[in-house]
Amino acid sequence: MRKVAMCFSLFQFPRCRIQTLANSWQEAFPKLRGRGIYTSTFQVLGSNNHGLEGGHYRRSCKKTITTKTEGNNKSSQSNKTSIKSQISAKSTGANLNIYNNRIIEAERTQVLDLRQKISENKELAKLVTFIVFDIETTGVRRKIDRIIEIAFQDLAGGRNSTFQALVNPECNIGNSEIHGISTAMVNRADVPRMEDLIPLLLQYIKSRQKPDGFVVLIAHNARTFDVPFLCEEFSRYSYKIPQDWLFLDTLPMAREMMKSQGLKEQKVNLQALRSYFEIPVLGSAHRALADVQTLALVLQKMTFNLKLPLPDLIEKYSFSDLDLVKTKKERNSR
């Protein structure tokens, strides 16, 4: 019997739903079932009310130039409907671009509104789920290289607050010396591919989310590495980053903290920060879950040093995937 090289766990759900989710997972991934991947140590401790809905997030822009609104934001939906009505059915390539740009702008405005609302109403920060994450990859070129390991940790803690999985990149790994993950470890039928994993990842994050709340995903160098990599993988398999996700980069936080303490020359990579805060080594460096656990502790120290309450943290350092798109466009137009 093959074992899935993945640990996926959810919590806070009645045991009666356990079997339901396990069954749904098997139904959702017939390819995996055919390859014997769903069996054995795959650990599902519960479910929630959302079910396995990876397909719910699939973006169909390529075929229908429409996007799906997440949650119950009626204003965003009406914005898009309004925009849609302005576009002729005889759309040319040019106005298709205009349409897509307007969709992106409408979604981006919604994200800005979200951050502004939190800034104005500090109580909304209570609805945030903070999740630290990290990826290991076959290299640093997001268009070419692939994710081979991913880990998440909900900072609220509690039972089963982590998600960790190896990913089958379906290619050879040339940088095993960095993270210790070899081709033989992941390039095998019983390790899920990113395409298989995204629905589980979405389900895990949804399970940690508060009702009507949103998520802030935190990583070190998130803006230029982890988030673009994640977005690239989502896009590769026609998935959309949910609109109730924000991202937070701890790298500029670390630079600002060091600067404020007169240590401008101090290195701010994760291992240097671990040493600076005298955090003990947690597992193997450059393995996703170990780095996540380290960053969680570093973040705690940094927010204390910077005297940053959560709403200010979000307002100052968070961004959305759409911000990255706009930044790139602005840069290209210069």
In angstroms, what is the minimal distance from the CB of 329 to DNA?
10
Only segment of 23-31, 33-41, 204-212, 218-226 that touches DNA (CB under 7 A): 218-226
Pairing of strands 162-166, 147-154: antiparallel
The footprint of DNA on this chain (CB under 7 A) covers a number of residues equal to 31
The only residue of 79, 137, 207, 243 in contact with DNA, by rule CB under 7 A: 137
In angstroms, rounded to a whole number, what is the distance separating the alpha carbons of residues 234 and 240? 6
Return the number of the residue (124 or 197) whose C-beta is nearest DNA: 197
The amino acid occupying position 126 is: K
Q: Which of 22, 87, 104, 178 binds DNA (CB under 7 A)?
A: 178
Q: Considering the rule CB under 7 A, would residue 17 count as an interface residue with DNA?
A: no
Would you state the structure tokens that stand for residue 280, as one six-digit string?
A: 């003990």
Distance CA 47, CA 7 (A): 15
- To DNA, the closest distance from the beta carbon of 140 in angstroms equals 5
286 labelled catalytic? yes
The rounded distance, in Å, linking the Cα atoms of 166 and 204 is 15
Nearest-10 Cα torsion for 249, 232, 191, 248: 10
Tell me if 270 contacts DNA by CB under 7 A: yes
Q: Which residue's CB is nearer to DNA, number 251 or number 306?
A: 251
CB 283 within 8 A of CB 181: no
Note whether 220 binds DNA by CB under 7 A: yes
Q: How far is the CB of 128 from DNA (least distance, A)?
A: 23
81 binds DNA (CB under 7 A): no
Judged by phi (left if over 0) then psi (alpha if -120 to 50, else beta), residue 283 lies in left
Chosen residue from 70, 233, 291, 321 binding DNA by CB under 7 A: 291
Task: Answer yes or no whether residue 259 interacts with DNA by CB under 7 A.
Answer: yes
**180: contact with DNA by CB under 7 A:** no
Q: Is residue 268 part of the contact set for DNA (CB under 7 A)?
A: yes
Triad 117, 120, 121: Cα angle to 5°: 80
* Phi, psi dihedrals of residue 163, rounded to the nearest 5°: -135, 125
Piece in contact with DNA (CB under 7 A), picked from 26-34, 118-126, 222-230, 239-247: 222-230
Q: Does 103 bind DNA (CB under 7 A)?
A: no
Which phi and psi (to 5°) does residue 304 adopt? Answer: -70, -45
Residue 101 contacts DNA per CB under 7 A: no
CB 164 within 8 A of CB 150: yes
Helix (H, G, I), strand (E, B) or coil at 305: helix
Between the alpha carbon of residue 69 and those of residues 56, 78, 213, 258, the distances in Å are: 10, 10, 15, 40
Catalytic residue among 50, 56, 220, 286: 286
Residues acting as catalytic residues: 286
Q: Could you list the residues that contact DNA (CB under 7 A)?
A: 134-137, 139-141, 175, 178-179, 220-221, 223-225, 251-252, 255, 259, 264, 267-272, 286, 291, 327-328, 331
